[in-house]
Amino acid sequence: MDTLEAFSAVDIRVGTIVAAEPFPEARKPAYKLTVDFGGEIGVKRSSVQITVRYQIDELIGKQVMAVVNFPPKRIAGFPSEILVLGVPDEADNVVLIRPDFPVPDSGRLY
């Protein structure tokens, strides 16, 4: 498998956060997100460690990028179905990767 083929196997899509809640059971401070990808993918949930940079009330309606084809992972009993993408800032706090402008949900990153 060449590099481009390997990258193409990872399905990265855009979705809109429709719900966010605290996740006190997690070992590190985290939220539970519900993300709507629309169409064939639908609504998925994820655990995210973004509590330093983001408040729950400001997350609703934001679009995010996420890997949607990895197997679900259980985190403190919670089934995390997608991997929401982010990068660390200078203090190692996660900053979400998201489009600069609104785009249709389920759009794939190429």
Catalogue all structural domains in the chain, each as residue range(s) with its CATH number.
Answer: 3-96 (2.40.50.140)
Res 49: pLDDT: 97
Show the tokens assigned to 59: 């997350």
pLDDT tens figures, 37-72: 998 999 999 999 999 999 999 999 999 999 999 999
Grouping H, G, I as helix, E, B as strand and the rest as coil, residue 17 is strand
Predicted TM-score (pTM) of this structure: 0.94
Query: What mean pLDDT value characterizes the chain?
Result: 96
- Measured distance CA(24)–CA(89) in Å, rounded: 24
CA-to-CA dists, residue 36 to 3, 6, 81, 82, 83, angstroms: 30, 26, 12, 11, 13
Instruction: Report the distance separating Cα 94 and Cα 87, nearest Å.
Output: 5
